[in-house]
């Protein structure tokens, strides 16, 4: 009987709207890697919920198809204490059979930002995992969330719990004006609490990622979305070297160099000033001054 084994799976992590999909689409072109095919756009919500016993709250691709939501309404922090032998067995079988189709020479590439507050849990299942943290500057991320929630996800609101390792909970939007007024008074709900809550989410997720892996920094690589845009091949090859796979000869996707400029049409000058101040410590930590 062939032993099922998963070696050095790669996890793309980071807060939502940071370029995880862009990076995933580039790396899954690598001949050594096999990307997950979860819903939506390869984001492996269902795999981790069904086989990994994870509490993930994800946004779907279309309000008309799935109500704009997939998974649970809450996204909870998990660590190595939550890992059980049957979960390890289930995840190895899932990756080996469903993702790799039994090809022992290939490596799993998993895109799931909702693992960003569960890194020690994922490492407890896959001890030799590689984590690639993509960070994008605060204002474009906040602007992208505003655009998505205000136009693409009218049936959902975002809640940021007050806990050590938070991630967004996705909750049904209130049905009528009276309930909407109550939601509007809650500072930890978007859109009621305003876009400042999105800034706090950006800061918390990105600061917490290296904290979770502080005892194994060799398993974590942080790269900037902006470096993929301006210095694509060098940045992607840096990731390949970290993941111990051959480097690319050229970047296999066309990259839009102007995506970060879109935020200017969603944010006022006052908001830009306030948000830069609110995120100053985290932007300093990651070299965004």
Rounded Cα distance between 190 and 46, Å, is: 25
What value, to the nearest 5°, has the Cα angle with vertex 84 and ends 206 and 77?
25
Say yes or no to pLDDT of 282 above 70.
Answer: yes
pTM score > 0.85 for this model? yes
Top mean-pLDDT range of 28-42, 120-134, 253-267: 120-134
- Residue range 255-282: mean pLDDT, rounded: 88
Per the DSSP assignment, residues forming a β-bridge with 222 are 133
- Residue range 60-77: mean pLDDT, rounded: 79
Rounded Cα distance between 133 and 140, Å, is: 17
- Determine the 3-state secondary structure of 268 from DSSP: coil
Is it true that domain 10-285 has CATH number 3.40.50.300?
yes
What is the number of other CB atoms lying within 10 angstroms of the CB of residue 38?
Answer: 20
Say yes or no to pLDDT of 192 above 90.
Answer: no
pLDDT recorded at residue 203: 98
Sheet holding 189-190, edge to edge: 169-172, 156-159, 189-190
Rounded Cα distance between 234 and 42, Å, is: 25
In this predicted model, what pLDDT tens digit does every residue of 75-125 receive, in sequence order? 999 999 999 999 999 999 999 999 999 999 999 999 999 999 999 999 999
**Number of helices and strands in the chain (H, E):** 12, 10
Rounded Cα distance between 37 and 46, Å, is: 10
| Local structure of residue 42 (DSSP, 8 states) | B
């Amino acid at each position: 009987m062939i032993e099922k084994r998963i070696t050095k799976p790669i996890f793309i992590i980071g807060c939502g709207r940071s370029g995880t999909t862009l990076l995933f689409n580039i790396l899954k072109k690598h001949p050594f890697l096999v990307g997950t095919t979860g819903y939506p756009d390869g984001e492996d919500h269902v795999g981790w919920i069904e086989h990994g016993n994870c509490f993930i709250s994800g946004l779907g691709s279309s309000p008309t198809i799935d109500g704009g939501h997939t998974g649970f309404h809450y996204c909870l922090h998990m660590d190595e204490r939550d890992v059980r032998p049957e979960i390890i067995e289930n995840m190895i079988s899932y990756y080996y059979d469903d993702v790799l189709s039994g090809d022992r020479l290939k490596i799993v590439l998993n895109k799931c930002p909702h693992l960003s507050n569960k890194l020690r849990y994922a490492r407890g299942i896959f001890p030799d995992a590689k984590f690639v943290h993509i960070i994008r500057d605060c204002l474009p991320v906040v602007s992208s969330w505003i655009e998505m929630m205000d136009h693409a996800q009218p049936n959902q609101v975002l809640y940021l719990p007050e806990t050590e390792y938070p991630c967004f909970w996705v909750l049904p939007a209130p049905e009528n004006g009276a309930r909407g007024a109550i939601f509007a008074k809650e500072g930890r709900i978007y859109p009621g609490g305003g876009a400042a809550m999105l800034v706090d989410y950006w800061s918390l997720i990105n600061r917490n990622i290296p904290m979770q892996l502080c005892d194994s920094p060799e398993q974590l690589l942080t790269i900037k979305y902006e470096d993929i845009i301006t210095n694509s091949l060098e940045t992607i090859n840096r990731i390949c070297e970290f993941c111990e796979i051959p480097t690319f000869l050229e970047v296999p996707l066309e990259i839009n160099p102007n995506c970060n400029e879109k935020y200017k049409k969603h944010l006022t000058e006052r908001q830009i000033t306030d948000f830069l101040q609110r995120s100053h410590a985290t932007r300093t930590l990651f070299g965004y001054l």
